[in-house]
A and B are shown apart, each in its own frame.
Chain A
């Protein structure tokens, strides 16, 4: 049975923890709002990029003349996984689910006789996967501060291109947490290289009215310079945009996950304080009663 003083200390410490978690929750909530706005405002570019790619893709034959980023290397042996985790912890299952999925994929690919390389964004994923897949990690990008700018995506994209041109991998896939809501994030994998033009995913569902869209893609475009040259410039750009999109999704998910986790932690701390206070009051009451009994029995003995 803990003494009254112990209980008081315990209650005080849980209370201060609760203050911290509730502050973290509020910070995460405001960051989440900012991350969502950022994701929102990056959408026009992606939409228009998708539209351009679609109309270009219609003009460029997907044969041997297509740029390597589109055609791929013709092999399927080395898979690069771009894993997007967070730099900081205390965000519930955010990194756990992601690394678990990554592990599953590594096992699956290895079983199929492919070799796997890892490009890890975020400190948490690096620390986690380093434990048993250290040999596969070829590149990491960590410590980006509280908000991703486009230059981060651009840097990762450039690095990826360098590796692709050096023939370091055949297929690149990004694995990230797609933001569905503050309490639900979905681990998503999307293939980055080779690019599939048919699947320019956000081409269909955005702010441009569908009628305008189809008219635009039906129109006969002039290209300056030639189609394949534009495509050769557009594809690396598109790669960076895809990465940027994934980064922003992952960022929003991280803050959402942290918000939920901290909300739970705050609630748990509240429950605990309640329980401890009850226990404290009971033992105080018991102590008082005991003292009274002692006094009374002392008086009776006289």
Chain B
């Protein structure tokens, strides 16, 4: 058994997951990266994307979609503070495509800056979701 790191997934409402894993692949703000045991300490933002949890390689035991958040990696731990978490299996392609169409309209209708920013953000999340279900 390879070395494990303690993976914690926390949403504002509760602690979602806490277990030893071999590796976690995270959608970092500046590109995906994998966290394993004895990783150098780091703090990063997350962009909308999929967290892949490898309890035992090479099979990903869990794929979770996050809308954003933060991650703190230490040699013995990997803590994800996520905004909203959905298992990739629960994402529905048709719904997402509909959302993207709706958001496209919202974006076109948006007049004020904050409205546009909110719509752009929602759009980025929806696009990332589509990528997540794509493979």
Interfacial residues, chain A to chain B (CB-CB below 8 A): 38, 41-42, 44-45, 48-49, 51-52, 55-56, 149-150, 153, 162, 216, 219-225, 229-230, 233-234, 237, 240-241, 244
Contacts and interface: CB of A to CB of B under 8 A. Distances in A.
Nearest to A220: B41
Contact of B10 (A45, A55, A56, A149): A45
A42 B81 CA distance: 12
A41 B70 CA distance: 19
Contact of B43 (A52, A150, A162, A241): A52
Contact of B30 (A52, A150, A224): A224
A153 B83 CA distance: 13
Contacts of A223: 42-44
A206 to B, nearest CB: 12
Interface in B33-80: 40-45, 70, 72, 74, 79
Interface stretch (B12-20, B93-101, B126-134): B12-20
Nearest to A219: B41
Given A45-B10, A150-B11, 18 more contacts: A44-B8, A44-B14, A45-B13, A52-B43, A52-B70, A55-B43, A153-B12, A216-B41, A221-B41, A223-B43, A224-B30, A224-B43, A224-B45, A230-B43, A230-B45, A234-B70, A240-B12, A241-B12
A41 B15 contact: yes
Interface size on B, as a range, is 20 to 34
B20 to A, nearest CB: 16
A103 to B, nearest CB: 32
A224 B15 contact: no
A244 B11 CA distance: 12
B126 to A, nearest CB: 18
A234 B69 CA distance: 9
A89 B29 CA distance: 46
Contacts of A241: 12
Contacts of B41: 216, 219-222
B45 A244 contact: no
Contact of A230 (B14, B44, B79, B114): B44
A223 B42 CA distance: 6
User: DSSP class of B's interface residues: helix, strand, loop or mixed?
Assistant: strand
Contacts of A221: 41-43
A224 B81 contact: no
Contact of B70 (A44, A150, A216, A230): A230
The 5 closest A-B pairs by CB, nearest first: A222-B42, A41-B14, A224-B44, A44-B15, A219-B41
B117 to A, nearest CB: 11
Contacts of B8: 44, 48
Nearest to A56: B43
Interface string B1-33: 000000010111111000000000000111000
A150 B13 CA distance: 7
A241 B83 CA distance: 11
A52 B42 contact: no
A221 to B, nearest CB: 5
Contacts of A234: 70
A51 B72 contact: yes
Given A162-B114, A221-B43, A52 B72 contact: yes
Nearest to A223: B43
Nearest to B118: A158
A48 B42 contact: no
A221 B13 CA distance: 27
5 contacts: A42-B14, A162-B114, A219-B41, A223-B44, A230-B45
A237 B45 contact: no
